[in-house]
A and B are shown apart, each in its own frame.
Chain A
């Protein structure tokens, strides 16, 4: 447990990763994170988010550059169990015959002897972690019998039980209800206050300014990194997403003055669904719907 209370740092310096088939997934990526931060890793699918995660977790070795945690190479940091990760829901086999308690206990394996028989301290840490994410009452459930949000919290509890100081989360909010999302964010803030580096891979742009104080924008390389307000600019985002981001421009849309421009936007970060004041559908392109507009204006007169 020696190194686990110091303030961590994460330094990614000129990292390039090429896969055996010749695909260059990441080129010359550089950024630095100091302790006590929630940082978002934002980019389109295939921009190298998961490759970057894998190089921080030591699953792939960079062909150039280096990743250092606390100034140490990744391998040394992993041996001190400094890095914890919360996998994407799709990567987990939810039919697997393990309980909530079993999964959380897996976070303690690094500290146990090779027989992996839990000691009192392991049981205490697991209980603490499960209580902290409000999953103690579910400790005997098989993991497939949980809701999306509960599933996510189990793996968070495992990261807590491990005592990781650099915590990587892969799309933590997909399939999670709003209440759980808020609870997870609250927990991440506590961990930040305790000095952890929380690194969150996401393509959910809307939630980023809500809880992340820093952002790393990537597209095959690091385009920008730093405080959210500096990085999350329209210019940077169009650089990162190119034509992929969907836009809804009010002056070209069917949203009308007489509705007081009151609209309700529903989006799951795909194309937004926009409803006008009295619940009618709005369209992005005014010209295509002029007929409809005319009809609607007549009704109003």
Chain B
């Protein structure tokens, strides 16, 4: 057992575990809203679209989060605009816009002198977090969690029935943009740990797992957080022992949890539903 816990002897592993837990908790909470609102593709799109924003913010020496938010917003708004003013459907519009922005970001990045590696942006480098990055992730993660959990009932309402929010004169547009802003911020905060590509998994899988386990929202939040945090712990330990890529290991454990739930979850698993139908 002491062999299994060996990673805890290294400070960089302890930092990695802390960052991983914060990032996975934050992404898990947001993922519940995203999968319920039908915004899973939005998580994918925004996570790619933030790249040019991050590079430009780096050039302009403003906080990377600001650039990421503006780029994410641009992606969401322009996809909506194309859908409303042409015969192109929204998912297609979004696909074109976010891949275009991502490519633009790659070109900008290749013209940038920095000590960041492209593959760290794409798949993260959780074992190499510096102390300042650690504090930034903790701060940002805490902020996102606090705002999301405080306003969770309003955010849930605009996922479930935006019409009801408007009829009661609640600020539904503001809440939509707030959710988008939280998503962009979460992506920035996760970059260091899992990178742009794998953050999509962190923002979709935990909510989907939880949806298979419960049909109450507060329980869904708990299940999602537990699944994400558990996957992160298991993924980091596994990656240490098999010397595999850490971000990929975390996401792989999540995916396995998802397929296990899909088959065996007590109420909505495929086998349980079949058993219920047969009875």
Contacts and interface: CB of A to CB of B under 8 A. Distances in A.
The answer to whether A and B belong to the same complex is yes
Interface of A: 20-21, 57-59, 75, 78-79, 81, 83-85, 87, 91-93, 95-99, 102-103, 106-107, 109-110, 114-116, 142, 144, 158, 162
A109 B169 contact: no
A93 B160 contact: yes
B153 A158 contact: no
B216 A110 contact: no
Contacts of A79: 169
Contacts of B151: 114
Given A96-B160, A115-B150, A81 B168 contact: yes
Contacts of A20: 84-85
B106 interface: no
B215 interface: yes
Contact of B167 (A85, A93, A96, A144): A85
A61 to B, nearest CB: 12
Given A81-B169, A110-B170, A97 B211 contact: yes
A78 B165 CA distance: 10
Given A20-B84, A21-B84, A96-B160, A83 B167 contact: yes
A58 B169 CA distance: 9
Nearest to B150: A115
Contacts of A95: 215
Contacts of A96: 36, 159-160
Contacts of A97: 36, 211, 214-217, 219-220
A106 B166 contact: no
A78 B167 CA distance: 6
Given A20-B85, A21-B84, A57 B167 contact: yes
Contacts of B157: 106, 109
Given A110-B170, A115-B153, 16 more contacts: A20-B85, A21-B84, A58-B166, A59-B163, A78-B169, A81-B169, A83-B167, A85-B164, A87-B163, A96-B36, A96-B159, A97-B214, A98-B160, A110-B168, A114-B154, A144-B215
Interface string B78-96: 0000001100000000000
B214 A57 contact: no
A107 B170 CA distance: 12
B169 A57 contact: no
Nearest 5 interchain pairs by C-beta: A110-B168, A116-B153, A142-B215, A78-B169, A79-B169
B154 A84 contact: no
B161 A87 contact: yes
A234 B45 CA distance: 54
Contacts of B216: 97-99, 142
A109 B170 CA distance: 9
B217 A109 contact: no
Counting chain B CB atoms within 10 Å of each CB, the highest count among A20, A59, A79, A96 belongs to: A96
B163 A110 contact: no
Interface hub of A57, A79, A106 (most chain B Cβ within 10 A):
A106
Most B-side CB within 10 Å, residue of A78, A92, A144: A78
Nearest to B164: A106
Contact of A116 (B36, B154, B217): B154
A93 B156 CA distance: 13
Contacts of B153: 109, 115-116
Contacts of A162: 168
A85 B163 contact: yes
Contacts of B154: 109, 114, 116
28 contacts: A21-B84, A21-B85, A57-B166, A58-B167, A59-B166, A75-B169, A78-B166, A78-B167, A84-B167, A85-B164, A87-B163, A93-B36, A93-B160, A96-B160, A97-B36, A97-B216, A97-B217, A99-B216, A106-B161, A107-B164, A109-B153, A109-B154, A109-B157, A109-B165, A110-B169, A115-B150, A116-B153, A142-B215
B37 to A, nearest CB: 9
Contacts of A103: 160
Interface in B146-186: 150-151, 153-154, 156-157, 159-161, 163-170
A112 to B, nearest CB: 9
A114 to B, nearest CB: 8
A162 B163 CA distance: 14
Nearest to B210: A97
A75 B36 CA distance: 28
Nearest to B87: A21
A214 B216 CA distance: 41
